[in-house]
Structure 1
Amino acid sequence: MAEIETFVIQPFHIHRKKLTPSPKSSAKSSGQALIDGRRIASSRPGAAVLRILADDETGEPSSIEVIGRFGEIPEEFEEQIRAL
């Protein structure tokens, strides 16, 4: 079973006085994802950078890890990730 590694930047914006996820983007490497996360957070309330390991054949995630936090991140965000 081969695994693929994906890096996702999840920005957040404020909607009705609450941090809400904005459309996410991906990066080719962890370094680029961290740079992009920092850049995005400079113009938004916050951004999280995720490292996702998934089965190559099924796409089923085996591991999701927050590798970077920039600015404000909703408290429940990491709890929701751990539940996956």
Structure 2
Amino acid sequence: MSAHYYDLCNRHRGRAVEIRTKDGRVHRGIINHVNQQKVYLQPMDGGPRNLGGFGYGFYGPGFGFGGLGIGIALGAIGTLALLPWFFW
């Protein structure tokens, strides 16, 4: 199933999404980066503990903690929904 979400996230890179994980957590943001293990979101709501701002992290300039944003494991994704821009 994670291969399905990997392809889906790559197709919608740069789009606003809502990801619900299997444990019930909800993450809203813009898909910033995708690798074989995780999808990284630029938070739309400031993120946890307000770590969602622009900065220079481990991977270079970018949004969120570490420069890539909030990382969510592809295997933990329960649902992924595209959000309209006016929601932001």
TM range (shorter): under 0.3
TM-score, normalised to structure 2, is 0.26
Give the number of the structure whose alpha-carbon radius of gyration is greater: 1
Give the structure with the larger strand fraction.
1
